[in-house]
Amino acid sequence: MFARILSTLMAFLTAAMFALATPAIAGDAASGAKIFSANCAACHAGGNNVVNGAKTLKKDALEKYEMNSIDAITYQVNNGKNAMPAFKGRLTDAQIDDVATYVLSQSEAGW
């Protein structure tokens, strides 16, 4: 009986650790800064957005529009949307991961 309770408790604790874990940042922010400067800064300098001022790269806007994860940013950069062009095929997957990492780290730092 004790072994079953202990086993159940361990399974629960393991599941809780995975559920609460912060996802690792995928790319290299320093490399992402260079790629961002060359490809994104014309519209997003300083985390702003010259086309749509409400949809900046600042933390509060990323959270509001559910863009505050590496996966969401990577998807947006790959596929584009509205006035933003798609960068899939122009940048490698690694470069896009680096840009997403840079954007997310800059939003956390306040640009």
Residues annotated in a binding site for heme c? 40, 43-44, 84
* Count of beta carbons in the 10 Å neighbourhood of residue 99: 26
Question: Are the CB atoms for 77 and 63 separated by under 8 Å?
Answer: no
Query: Closest by alpha carbon to 93, among 75, 80, 69, 68?
Result: 75
- In the three-class reduction of DSSP (H, G, I as helix; E, B as strand; rest coil), residue 77 is classed as helix
Radius of gyration of the chain from its Cα atoms, rounded to whole angstroms: 18
Indicate the annotated binding residues. Answer: 40, 43-44, 84
